[in-house]
Structure 1
Amino acid sequence: MSNVVSPYHQRVAREKRALIVGAATALFLELGYDRTSLARIAERSGVSRATLFKQFPSKAALFDAIVTESWATADDSESPPTGDVVHGLAGIGRRYAELLRRPQMTDLFRIVIAELPRFPELADAQFAQGKMPYFDSVRNYLAAEDAAGTVRIEDIDLAATQFLGMISNYVFWPALLVPGWEVTAERVAQVVDEAVRTIAARYATTQSAASSAD
């Protein structure tokens, strides 16, 4: 007997998974992590408990999935090729800004902040499975550019933090903390471009900076 899952059943499984994740996120925000049960999530999402437990055997596993999916990039693009740090960082910066502007990203941080005193493991999951892998991708790109001679960076961790921080400090954190905070697409593009210029001005070699200006 074949164990191959048909495209139809794969699609149904993805749709049910999305319903479960959406229901869980909403309930975590409404009731808190502790008061939200898997049974309540199954009821809200409209799937059977058996279906939910098959995909997520525990509430912790479900939260881990929310973190992972929230931090997934919009197009899952690979790291840019080396040789043009301005172009490469611009692409990374735009994807990062798009990621931070997703409603589920602010929802995720609100859950973590609200439940941090009682469930510090939620913050650990957010950092280890969400932010850190994304940070690593930026750090690896800068390390590759450094090895190629496009930039000269002594502390790559610091440079990656500087770049991402310049974007998130304008695009994300005010939206999380200030009711009604909105940033236009044009302003986001400007924020990303200025972050790229700042990093390039600080770290790009003379040769690579001249090439990018051509």
Structure 2
Amino acid sequence: MEIAKAGRKKPISRGETSSTNGVEGYQQRVSREKRALILEVAIATFLESGYDAATMDSIGDRATVSYATLYKHFPSKETLFVEAVDHLIHQLFSSWKDHVVPNDVEPGLREIGRAFCELVSDARLISAMRLIIGQARNFPAVGARFQLAKHLFSDITDAWLQRRVDEGELRVADVQLARAEFIGMLGETVFYPRLMQTDYALSDDQVERVVESAVCTFLARYRVQ
């Protein structure tokens, strides 16, 4: 993961120094920027080194922030780990909201399928999932937060499916179950082998065949004839 380098502090403008609120606003902005930088550095460090090998000192040095600043934002490695993983998975899953899904059933399902395959092909997600699984016993909150982040994808998908049901194009009694079935068909080939095998790869054509097969199977069961 590429990490932004810490640069020179931006000088305080006259407007910012003209009032207490201006100074406080500047300080808050700098604090937010430092916190964001620490999180990005922590994500890269944990993904590269794993939880046990990563240290607060190495993260602080890499982020070029003082230890006082580091511990002000994150009082322990445990806290930083949970926040860093949460930050990453929300970044990954929130990208789904930018996808434009066609209203027509067949093209829409293809777009959902392709978006899911793109998401689970992201090397950061694969590394994060391995990290979460490895630390699940010590950090159960991380697993719970992953499920919440996943709703950023599943809730939007469920809403799209429900609209197709309401319009009479699909006959689905349980939208959440139907979505899980569709995603499960994709995950079996695209996601889970990649999670377990470091050298697993699929070509674009292979992914497209998997998506097409899942779409056809889903429509054979749920499309109104």
Q: Same fold (TM over 0.5)?
A: yes
Q: Distance in 1 between matches of 2:94 and 2:40?
A: 15
Deviation readout 1:125-179 (Å, 9 max, x if unpaired): 1111x22221111111111110111101011111000111111111111011023
TM-score by length of 1: 0.77
Q: Does 1:204 align with 2:223?
A: yes
Q: Distance in 1 between matches of 2:170 and 2:138?
A: 44
Q: List alignment gaps of at least 5 residues for structure 1.
A: 207-214
1:31 Cα deviation from its structure 2 partner:
4.7
Q: Does 1:96 align with 2:116?
A: yes
Do the aligned residues in 1 keep the contact of 2:97 with 2:153 (CA within 8 Å)? no
Q: Does 1:73 align with 2:103?
A: no
1:42 Cα deviation from its structure 2 partner:
2.8
Do the aligned residues in 2 keep the contact of 1:149 with 1:205 (CA within 8 Å)? yes
* Structure 1 residue aligned with 2:128: 108
Q: For 1:158, which of 171, 174, 177 is the aligned residue?
A: 177
Q: Distance in 2 between matches of 1:127 and 1:61?
A: 15
Q: Distance in 2 between matches of 1:116 and 1:148?
A: 42
Q: Distance in 2 between matches of 1:54 and 1:141?
A: 42
Q: Distance in 2 between matches of 1:54 and 1:134?
A: 33
Q: Distance in 2 between matches of 1:55 and 1:195?
A: 45
Q: For 1:41, which of 42, 59, 62 is the aligned residue?
A: 59
Q: For 2:186, which of 167, 170, 173 is the aligned residue?
A: 167
Q: Distance in 2 between matches of 1:169 and 1:45?
A: 38
**Residue pairs, 1:51-62, within 5 angstroms:** 58-59=79-80, 60-62=82-84
Where 1:179 maps in the other structure, the secondary structure is coil
Q: Does 1:141 align with 2:167?
A: no
Deviation readout 1:185-214 (Å, 9 max, x if unpaired): 1101111111111111111112xxxxxxxx
Q: For 1:85, which of 102, 105, 121 is the aligned residue?
A: 105
Decide which structure has the larger Cα Rg and report it: 2
Q: Does 1:177 align with 2:199?
A: no
Q: Distance in 2 between matches of 1:196 and 1:144?
A: 17
Do the aligned residues in 1 keep the contact of 2:96 with 2:152 (CA within 8 Å)? no
Q: Distance in 1 between matches of 2:110 and 2:72?
A: 41
Distance 1:125 1:75, change over 3 A: closer
Aligned-pair identity (%): 31
- Greater relative CO, 1 or 2 (CA 8 Å, sep 6+): 1
Q: Does 1:64 align with 2:82?
A: no
Do the aligned residues in 1 keep the contact of 2:164 with 2:170 (CA within 8 Å)? yes
Q: CA RMSD in A?
A: 3.1
Q: List alignment gaps of at least 5 residues for structure 2.
A: 1-14, 17-21
Do the aligned residues in 2 keep the contact of 1:29 with 1:110 (CA within 8 Å)? no
Aligned residues: 198
* Structure 2 residue aligned with 1:211: none
Q: Distance in 2 between matches of 1:34 and 1:52?
A: 18
